[in-house]
Structure 1
Amino acid sequence: MTDPTRTEPTGFDGNQPQPPDLWARTATETEAKKAVSSTPGWERELLEKLVLGTLAEQRAARRWRNFWRFGWLALITLIIWAAWQRDLSSTSKSTPHTAVVDVKGEIAAGAEASAEFVVAAMKSAFEDPGSQAVVLLINSPGGSPVQAGMINDEITRLKAKHNKPLYAVVEETCASAAYYIAAAADEIYVDKASIVGSIGVLMDGFGFTGTMEKLGVERRLLTAGENKGFLDPFSPQSATQRGYAQQMLDQIHQQFIEAVKEGRGERLKATPETFSGLFWTGQQAVDMGLADQYGTLDYVAREVVKAEDVIDYTRRDNVAERLARKFGATFGETVLRGMRSAPALR
């Protein structure tokens, strides 16, 4: 017979403890919560913990933000320093060498082929005691006659001051303002397929007066001075205004012609077409006296200058300037430049 008052262990092992009483534990937790909630100031203590936790998270987030900011700043500084060091190292060699300055792309203020950059590079090249000669490596369709004239004048001055020769080496194109610059060189070397010449001046734009009349649009332009708005594309152009613009272009063209004649001298075999704005191949340019002979940068350094080591003195935009343009710092200037109509050697 089994004793009804005896409690038998459950499970397979008679020594196994009894399972916990869930009802009893729930009651105990409830009583603990009541005790805590009945403790004076518990709300304030909980609020303080929440505030301190939030502040800790904010401090951690702020530290990470500062870390990334300083990281990017250090990276940009390192890039600028490396570029600066490269420029210094490229122009510090005092052993005999051939100095080269690039004239590439549009010749214009603010561009890499601006008078500011090209003249600064030429000064460094001429002043270096190790440079035996300076070579302008040209690949440009032209641009501003003002910028080209400034470079042309500075070439003449630097050659006389330092008593060093300057050669122009043409790659694909040396036209208009680019040839204005090359004309001041002691000798011009081309490839037989290079494009050379285009000795002329142009001023281009658009006229929308007829279109505006068809659309029923009225142009309201107020000026102080009867000719102040004569280049406005939405206003008609009178014969007097056209004649004035043509006179200005002819004057700039004559300045260009005189620079070419002075630079090329007796080597130039001028014809009625030479200054008409036409352009020719390098082979034709040599026959016409616009260029001297065929040659590359390596050829000139090796055979003409007799200094095979070539050092690049070209001045270019730094990283900060490129980033500023990339993010639109000069957007307004670009728009205004595009809207203006100015003479160009192209």
Structure 2
Amino acid sequence: MSSKRWAALIIAIALFFISTFYQLATNKTANQDSFFSTEDFVEKVTKTGNLGAGKIAVIHLDGVIMDTGSSFFSAYNHKDFLKKIEKAAIDPGIDGLIINVNSPGGGVVESAEIHEKIVEAQEAYDKPVYISMGNTAASGGYYIAAPADKIFANRATLTGSIGVIMESINYAELAENVGIDFNTIKSGEFKDILSSSRPMTDEEREILQTMIDDLYADFVDVIVAGRGMSEEEVRRIGDGRVYTGKQAQELGLIDEIGTLDDVITAMEEDFEFGNTTVVEYEVGFNLQSVFGLTAQYFSGSKEEWGGLLQEIRNAGGPRAMYLYSH
């Protein structure tokens, strides 16, 4: 083993022990056993409540909702986010969930998966779920909020953008100008639908529009069920435009204007939880994570590069999105 790799191992272990002792010294509520556990997440107390009062879990959603795997190149980890909702739902010590959303939306499938987890927490585990919107909670960010028991936003929050979008680039003329020819061998007429090497046909556009309309209908149904609005009303305001938090409240898309602290207070009062303890979930920094990171370093960080390559592949192909882009 080279001297550089030995140095990396020593530094990783040293950082582990420094972090351990620092957290134990500065956070009296920390569970010391968690540093030697194998759990994915540990609780971080952000507000200490009264003894015997309830406990609320705050889960943050930041970034584009896409499953790009576990990668340093992505701010949002889809699988971890789903696990956090599930952890809070099944934990008998958690009385309610607050999801703090700051997202322009993202993948259709990923948004639906989060929606299903929220509904499961409500129906299977009888946990109230409130939404706190940040700067942006649009398109897929609103899709996941729709089933919540209450939705809060800032007056200046950008939300709405109800709809589906699919885009592709046609560089056929550019390729022709620089002398590039494309040879395509396909099994069926529509196998290369949305190909960037040729113009889209009217029949292809009709096929794709049918798909988009179907996904849009699902979006509408989610809002109808979650907000108690009529389908006609949702379709009238769901033309893709964004709304401010104030406008969204007037339209019935959200319930109240307020900050995350206001949401916590509202849940405490609505369900008579008392002065609750509020926790967030952090990725556990334990022996397992230290050795996992070290092993990843010695293996050349293949998983991280794999995550980056997957993102590049995903960006290369058109897909339907619940996404607000500007």
TM-score of the two chains, using structure 2 as the length reference: 0.76
Counterparts in 2 of 1:189 and 1:327: CA distance versus 1, 3 Å: closer
Counterparts in 2 of 1:203 and 1:269: CA distance versus 1, 3 Å: closer
Q: 2:223 matched to which residue of 1? A: 260
Deviations 1:217-258 (A, max 9, x none): 211122222211112201232111111111111101110110
Distance 1:247 1:79 in 2: 57
Distance 1:316 1:325 in 2: 22
- 1:109 pairs, out of 52, 64, 67, with 67
Written as runs of structure 1 = structure 2, the 5 A alignment for 1:19-168 is 68=7, 70-75=9-14, 85=35, 87-90=41-44, 96-110=54-68, 113=76, 115-168=78-131
- 1:334 pairs, out of 265, 288, 311, with 311
Counterparts in 2 of 1:63 and 1:227: CA distance versus 1, 3 Å: closer
Cα deviation for residue 147 of structure 1 reads 0.7
Moved over 3 A (4+): 62-67, 75-87, 111-115, 266-269, 314-327
Q: 1:279 matched to which residue of 2? A: 242
Contact 1:168-1:187 within 8 A present in 2 as well: yes
Counterparts in 2 of 1:314 and 1:290: CA distance versus 1, 3 Å: farther
Counterparts in 2 of 1:73 and 1:139: CA distance versus 1, 3 Å: closer
Q: 1:5 matched to which residue of 2? A: none
User: By percentage of residues, which structure has more strand?
Assistant: 2
Across the two proteins, how many residue pairs are aligned to each other?
Answer: 284
Q: 2:26 matched to which residue of 1? A: none
Distance 1:316 1:257 in 2: 38
Written as runs of structure 1 = structure 2, the 5 A alignment for 1:224-243 is 224-243=187-206
Counterparts in 2 of 1:201 and 1:267: CA distance versus 1, 3 Å: closer
Which amino acid is 1:170 matched to?
A: M
Cα deviation for residue 316 of structure 1 reads 9.1
User: By percentage of residues, which structure has more helix?
Assistant: 1
TM-score of the two chains, using structure 1 as the length reference: 0.72
Counterparts in 2 of 1:249 and 1:307: CA distance versus 1, 3 Å: farther
Deviations 1:305-330 (A, max 9, x none): 24443201366997849974896343
Written as runs of structure 1 = structure 2, the 5 A alignment for 1:241-256 is 241-256=204-219
Q: 2:27 matched to which residue of 1? A: none
Contact 1:270-1:288 within 8 A present in 2 as well: no
Contact 1:101-1:134 within 8 A present in 2 as well: yes
Contact 2:42-2:282 within 8 A present in 1 as well: no
Instruction: Please tell me the root mean square deviation across aligned C-alpha atoms, in Å.
Output: 3.3
Contact 1:199-1:277 within 8 A present in 2 as well: yes
Cα deviation for residue 272 of structure 1 reads 5.1
Which amino acid is 1:205 matched to?
A: S
Gaps of 5+ in 2: 24-33, 69-73, 269-273
Distance 1:265 1:218 in 2: 54
Q: 1:174 matched to which residue of 2? A: 137
Report % sequence identity.
24
Deviations 1:198-224 (A, max 9, x none): 001000121011222222321112222
Deviations 1:8-62 (A, max 9, x none): xxxxxxxxxxxxxxxxxxxxxxxxxxxxxxxxxxxxxxxxxxxxxxxxxxxxxx8
Deviations 1:73-92 (A, max 9, x none): 5247658989963933438x
